[in-house]
Structure 1
Amino acid sequence: MPVITDALPKDLEKKPFVYVEPFVGSGAVLFRMLDKFPNIEKAVINDVNEDLINAYRTIQEEPDALIESLQQLEREYNGSPEEEFRQAHYLMVRELFNKREKSRTEHTAYLIFLNRTCYNGLYRVNKENQFNVPFGKHKNPKICNEANIRLVHKVLQKVEIRLGDFDALNDLVTPDAFFYFDPPYKPISSTASFNAYSQNGFGDGDQERLKGFCDKLHETGARLLLSNSDPKNEDPENHFFDELYGDYQIERVQARRAINSRGSRRGEISELLIRNYD
């Protein structure tokens, strides 16, 4: 986050602007931006992941009901300290989540429960959109963080929440907009796609389509910052992003990663920050 903050335009605080995050994910940058820049006149977040967007809308509109559902899930999970019991309970909730038959609030409670109790807090689905991350063996997970939910609820009152492809945000492409893109990263090895974020994936064609959208922004006068993986971690001769964004500013920065099939590749690796301003 400090590296991303340092890469922002130096004059963002000087006048009102529209902040847009087309791949919102955890919203970490969104919350940092709203805290740092009171001159944001409008914030818009978007994602293609319907489960995630429903979670944001639930927190924005129904925090009390969500907290009640999470407290119940927490009581049930803590009903026994035995790992076998907790794993069976986790698998039951995962099955209920994948059926998608409950209300939006209950479904969001399942999503948060799974995030807190699955392996490494991953979100991964298969081509049938079934969440399939294994049990995480956490000893004392914080399943219901009431204080945090209420804080996020308060902040989200200033935010417009959309569901869909990034290409549907053309109405926000104006000179007074700042876009931060954090798309699904390009896999840098054959084992790096463990964390499939949506059932349809996000391949090289989508990365190229995103570059076209960035060009549209640039031509309009909007500014943008984009994060992505650095293929050169695995193959120094892989120039995919260097060629794709050759007319933009590309900076290689160090980021910490805790998940890798090879232990030697955990820790700090190079990632890319790409921008269309000095």
Structure 2
Amino acid sequence: MKKKRSFLKWAGGKYSSLDDILKILPKRKCLIEPFVGAGSVFLNTNYHSYILADINSDLINLFNIVKTRFLEFINDAQVFFTPRTNKLDFYSIHRAIFNKSSNNYQKALIFLYLNRHCYNGLCRYNLKGEFNVPFGSHKKPYFPQKELYQFSEHAQKAVFICSSYNITLKKISTDSVVYCDPPYLPLSKTSNFTRYYVNHFDFYEHKKLVHLIESIFKKKSIPFLVSNQDILLTRLLYQKAFLYFIRSKRSISCVAHSRKKINELLALYN
């Protein structure tokens, strides 16, 4: 079956790792993702139900709008993909509108526009919680109508929630499997990309996540699969899991053809 792409550009997206992930992701009734991101794993699986969470309220708001108001959203979103809207001044004005808006529908429309027009498809916020990625100067940003349709159709089986991983994991039942894709531990200090939202997912948070996973697995025998960078620290963190080592293409290089493959690990508790 042909793999489905997310309608969002997303740093750390799992599209290029799907074959490896899907080979070992355990089968259960419900898939839970505490770090859903752009939703590539969700889109390419067929569980009976899904609980999909992220701390990014803008992301979860967009997913819920696409799920419940698809036709209206498609009609309104496509007007943001014209030569007139692909200009720095239009982008800057709408980024400012987005950061001040309290209208969920308006924010969803502009969030998609920003994602497809900003630099390298990044999603970053300053300490005030304001989206601050600069304009991307793309030749012709793609309007992902097909991908939006596929997402909305599959989303009818999903519940999207804005919450931290520790709260999300309290929703686990015995018929669940959990896939975790936390912000990766950096290869070096200069490659740190843990400030995905306004929270900082550092080594201490990774240790807390591992402790919680191992505690739940021990008590309830619920399977977990976790993605991370393959470095000494992650091998030590997940030493109680069965480790798979894979090669994956980076998704945040500004030039597509220069994106190098990196070493990743998949830690399976099953």
Give me the TM-score of the superposition, normalised by structure 1.
Answer: 0.83
Q: Secondary structure at the match of 2:191?
A: coil
Alignment correspondent of 2:29: 17
- Would you say the 8 A contact 2:186–2:193 is kept in 1? no
1:169, 1:195 → 2: CA distance?
20
Question: Identity rate of aligned residues, in percent?
Answer: 29
Alignment correspondent of 1:153: 152
Deviations 1:190-240 (A, max 9, x none): 22235731111211111111112211231111001000122x3xxxxxx32
Alignment correspondent of 2:236: 243
Runs of 4+ in 1 over 6 A off after TM superposition: none
Q: Cα distance 1:226–1:170, how it changes in 2: closer, same or farther (>3 A)?
A: closer
Q: Which runs of 5+ in 1 are unaligned?
A: 35-39, 233-238
Is 2:270 the counterpart of 1:273? Answer: no
Which one has a bigger Cα radius of gyration? Answer: 1
Task: Select between 166-175 and 22-31 the one with higher mean Cα deviation.
Answer: 166-175
Alignment correspondent of 1:141: 141
Shift of 1:7: 2.3
Alignment correspondent of 1:213: 212
1:117, 1:192 → 2: CA distance?
23
Alignment correspondent of 2:75: 68
Q: How many residues align?
A: 252
Q: Cα distance 1:99–1:169, how it changes in 2: closer, same or farther (>3 A)?
A: same
Alignment correspondent of 2:108: 108
Alignment correspondent of 1:79: 84
- Would you say the 8 A contact 1:22–1:46 is kept in 2? yes
Is 2:100 the counterpart of 1:95? Answer: no
Q: Secondary structure at the match of 1:191?
A: helix
Give me the TM-score of the superposition, normalised by structure 2.
Answer: 0.85
Alignment correspondent of 1:236: none
Q: Which runs of 5+ in 2 are unaligned?
A: 1-17
Alignment correspondent of 1:198: 197
Is 2:25 the counterpart of 1:2? Answer: no
Deviations 1:55-87 (A, max 9, x none): 111111111332233122224xx128xxxx711
- Would you say the 8 A contact 1:123–1:196 is kept in 2? no
Q: Secondary structure at the match of 2:188?
A: coil
